[in-house]
Amino acid sequence: DVKVTQSSRYLVKRTGEKVFLECVQDMDHENMFWYRQDPGLGLRLIYFSYDVKMKEKGDIPEGYSVSREKKERFSLILESASTNQTSMYLCASSFDHYSNQPQHFGDGTRLSIL
Amino acid sequence: SQQGEEDPQALSIQEGENATMNCSYKTSINNLQWYRQNSGRGLVHLILIRSNEREKHSGRLRVTLDTSKKSSSLLITASRAADTASYFCATDPKAAGNKLTFGGGTRVLVKP
């Protein structure tokens, strides 16, 4: 089974801090994704990556950046955290972007910015 | 923007009853997927139906897809309390490279 591991289940940070959310997958998947999930707004794609050192903006990239230095690891960075970035963050991976394959999700990080 | 829209937003049923939820979408797709999310956890993939398929089964789950109406339904038969969760449809649009678009979800409560 694919395992997607997010480094923290809960995280509390202060406004203005630089925040790193880490995600690791163990199945050599090419694709990795970061979403945020808010009540009433569903899942929204922040950034995704199809390969090492490659990144593409999703629907709501403002205030975020990402890093993919190794195939198995995809990091989400909040450059200067703000209270409106309090949310549930979900990482996912999938085999590649050609085949009909599902995405596999981590357990999420519930981030609170005070 | 959310392409998939689920209906109803919430559903409350008794254990043993069937639960049906629907999803509508707007553009051409490679496939449509259903996921479950237990409270406070990540999403778990349930079933994927390709655009050239009309019906698919997995255990107590039955999914239909009507590409002419751009809609799908998920049926959970003989529901159990453990089926209590939120259910999301996600579309994999053509030429989007597995970049899924999720609906807002249906919250299902199965009462024992």
Judged against a pLDDT cut of 80, whether residue A35 lies above it is answered with yes
SS (H, E, C) chain B: CCCCEEECCEEEEECCCCEEEEEECCCCEEEEEEEEECCCCCEEEEEEEECCCCEEEECCEEEEEECCCCEEEEEECCCCHHHCEEEEEEEEECCCCCCCEECCCEEEEEEC
Nearest to A45 among B35, B99, B105 (CB): B99
Mean pLDDT for back-to-back runs of 10 residues, chain B (112 residues): 73 96 93 94 95 96 97 97 96 81 93 94
Torsions phi, psi of A85, nearest 5? Answer: -100, 5
User: Pseudo-torsion of CA B45, B111, B4, A8, nearest 10°?
Assistant: -50
Q: What percent of chain A has pLDDT over 70?
A: 98
Per-residue confidence (pLDDT) for residue B6, from 0 to 100: 85
A107–B103 CB contact, under 8 Å: no
Q: Which of A45, A58, A108 sits opposite B42 (nearest CB)?
A: A108
- Alpha-carbon distance B44 to B66, whole Å? 23
Q: With left for phi above 0 and alpha for psi between -120 and 50, is residue A42 left, alpha or beta?
A: left
Minimum Cα–Cα distance from A59: chain B residue: B1
The average pLDDT across A76-103 equals 92
A92 contacts B31? CB cut-off 8 A: no
Residue A8 is predicted with a pLDDT of 92
Residue B4 confidence (pLDDT): 66
Chains A, B: CB contacts under 8 A, how many? Answer: 59
Summarised one tens digit per residue, pLDDT across range A9-34 is: 999 999 999 999 999 999 999 999 99
Mean pLDDT of A90-100: 86
> Quick one: what percent of chain A has pLDDT higher than 90?
88
Whether B48 sits inside 8 A of A41 (CB atoms) is no
At A42, the pLDDT band (50, 70, 90 cuts) reads confident
SS3 category, A108: coil
In the chain, the amino acid numbered B106 is: T
Q: Which SS3 state, helix, strand or coil, does residue A29 take?
A: coil
In chain A, residues with a C-beta closer than 8 Å to the C-beta of B49 are none
